[in-house]
Amino acid sequence: MLYNIKYEVKKGAFMYNRLDSLCSIFDYVVEMRRYFHMNPELGLEEFNTQAKIISELKSFGLKPKKIGNTGVVCNIDGKGSKRIAIRADIDALPIDDAIDKPYKSRKPNVCHACGHDGHTAILLGVAKFFSENIDLLEGSIRLIFQPNEEKVPIGGAKTLINEGVLDGVDAIIGAHLWQPIECGKIGISYDRLMACADEFTINISGRGGHGSMPHQTVDPIITGAQIILALKMITSTSIDPLENSVLSIGLFNAGSAFNIIPDKSVIKGTVRTFSQEVRETIFRRIKEICEGICTSNGAKFTMEPIFGYPSLINHKSIVKVIESSASEVIGEENVLHIKPVMGAEDFSYYLQEIKGAFFFIGAGNVDKGIVYPHHHPKFDIDEDALLVGLKVIIASAINLFK
């Protein structure tokens, strides 16, 4: 079905019908995606990935450069002065690959369980297309292959920005293969798309003792339990119900024996927000709750916040171009306006510097059994989504020059 989508020769769309060329590139993109899936590398360890990307770009006659230790940047210069950047993340996750496919990861406990292999392959396809169709460029394209997106709060975007990856860039676009959206469609948002990703650790100090004599102790388990219950009330009592926010507890550790009250406990959790005001309110309330409960119980505490990526908020003018471009190449009915998600992306750092937008490429397919969520050992994508991403990104880049 995807192969029957043709570019219309009209204002605002492609000036030429290049479908045959793009479909041959699609085969190349699938090949590359499978190569990267079989050979995944964790953040800041993407040396083989970097070498493969550089080798492929050089085969197109391009001049890629290393950036951010394990990243790659490459320009494709057309006839105009405007420059559009397109970014793909290239790192994998510390997860065992459980898919039953020929392209299953060859590395134990490392796999592309999030789709970055597809992002890398799509951007290589974009590079191949524009290197073969340079006449379509009314400016220059900057390809950004970014390492280390998965390691919150470090990320790779800030490193690349500090090294000048956005110098001379007028706008930037990026995309994420997204399992919750059906293959053949894309998801866009004209404002908020992804949340801040913050963490916290609460260390509670009490006084241990025998389980039969609790009156002689300051119980960090009871104190921790009270704190957890109170923390879960923050979003429902201290935050405007029209604001999106999540506070989740992922770890509560204490004790080593059934009849001993320990002297310490540890709580770890995550906070997801879009508004800086809401973000600050939640962390202020966490501290106030810990102070109140620990004081009443005679315990002490320390709280360590870890502030991750900022919220990803798109620029409307760039989203408008992506929407119109996608409508031309995959059909208006396949462009979905979606609600924000509480996941995070360090692409948000680029959007704090220049205009740009991020969107989701549908990659799920129930009929093919592609139903497992991101970061699951059986996560996979419908590879037809690679062609959708290729078309939408190329069309958007061309139209952004106009």
- Residue 117's SS3 state is helix
Catalytic residue among 56, 149, 345, 380: 149
Q: Name the amino acid, one letter, at 217.
A: T
C-alpha–C-alpha distance, residues 3 and 20, integer Å? 9
Region of 228 on the Ramachandran plot (φ > 0 left; ψ -120 to 50 alpha; else beta): alpha
Kindly name the residue from 91, 150, 323, 383 that is annotated as catalytic.
91
**Distance in angstroms (rounded) separating the CA atoms of residues 9 and 368:** 34
Measuring CA to CA, which residue among 201, 150, 223, 186 is closest to residue 389?
A: 186
339 Cβ neighbours under 8 A, 6+ residues apart: 189
> Distances from the Cα of 131 to the Cαs of 58, 60, 63, 82, 126, in angstroms?
11, 6, 11, 17, 8
Active site (annotated) includes residue 91: yes
Ramachandran region, residue 385 (left: φ > 0; alpha: ψ -120 to 50; beta: rest): alpha
The whole-angstrom separation of Cα 299 and Cα 207 is: 8
Beta carbons of 384 and 122 less than 8 angstroms apart: no
- The region that residue 44 occupies, defined by phi over 0 for left and psi between -120 and 50 for alpha, beta otherwise, is left
Question: String of b and e for 217-246 (b: at least 16 CB within 10 Å)?
Answer: bbbbbbbbbbbeebbeebbeeebeeeebbe
The SS3 of residue 254 is strand
- Over its C-alpha atoms, the chain yields an Rg (Å, rounded) of 24
SS (H, E, C) 123-192: HHHHHHHHHHCHHHCCCEEEEEEECCCCCCCCCCHHHHHHCCCCCCCCEEEEEEEEEEEECCCEEECCCE
Q: Establish whether 263 is a catalytic residue.
A: no
Helix residue ranges per DSSP H, 156-301: 157-162, 220-231, 234-237, 276-297
- Residue showing tokens 């916290």: 200
Rounded Cα distance between 62 and 59, Å, is 7
User: Which residues are known to be catalytic?
Assistant: 91, 149
